[in-house]
Amino acid sequence: MSATPLQNRVTPTGEIVADPARGTLMGNRGCLHRADRTLGVTRWRSKMWICCVLRWRDVRRDVMPPGRWTALFFLDEATALSAGHRPCGYCRRDAYASFTGAWRRAAGLARPPRAGEMDAALHAERVDSRTRQKRTRPAVAGELPEGVMVRHDGTCGLLAGKRFLPWTHRGYLAPVALRADRRVELLTPPSTVAAIGAGYRPLLHPSAGASLA
């Protein structure tokens, strides 16, 4: 009998759920789990929400070490960015440099932003301070860059190649044509949307194919 999956898979809306599917990236928001390896009501302990590689120098780590951190898993980077995470500056240094460079260009800054500056901006954009729920925004599909996540007709998915790719824990489903004037619910935080629009290219699950090529 297979083990019950831990509650550590993240959806494009930032929810943390239990699902046996494997992700292509991991990350964390601090220690969210209890001694019995289940989650309580807390969904972050820090404003530093990062997205990391699955393997780093062959180091094997417990995904829920007591009192330290809770490993979270994402289908791909587009999912992580939609949930409000950013590239880790340690294990994904090149991606981090590309992301901060795109952020700088989009914001018209004289220098790349520091990690803490991005974390503060993203936290204000991803979470409603009163309800502690994810903040989303109305948008027009044709005005968004490819690589962001939206909700369309009640389904979360990726905008790619002027199409909508429905999201699942195991990968993207067959793409659906989406009119440029179609109104959607934007899930990816605005600062990240701007960085993607300025040239950052998130890593996609293989099921997305060459959608952003």
2-29 per-position pLDDT tens digit: 578 999 999 999 999 999 998 999 999 9
- Ranges 35-39, 92-96, 166-170, 207-211: which has the least confidence: 207-211
CB of 85 within 8 A of CB of 118? no
Question: What band does 213 get if pLDDT is binned at 50, 70 and 90?
Answer: very low
73 forms bridges with which residues in the sheet? 9, 26
Ramachandran sector of residue 183 (left: φ over 0; alpha: ψ -120 to 50; beta: rest): beta
Instruction: Quote the percentage of the chain above a pLDDT of 70.
Output: 96
Least Cα distance to 43 among 118, 117, 131, 116 occurs for: 131
> Is the model's pLDDT at 115 over the cut of 80?
yes
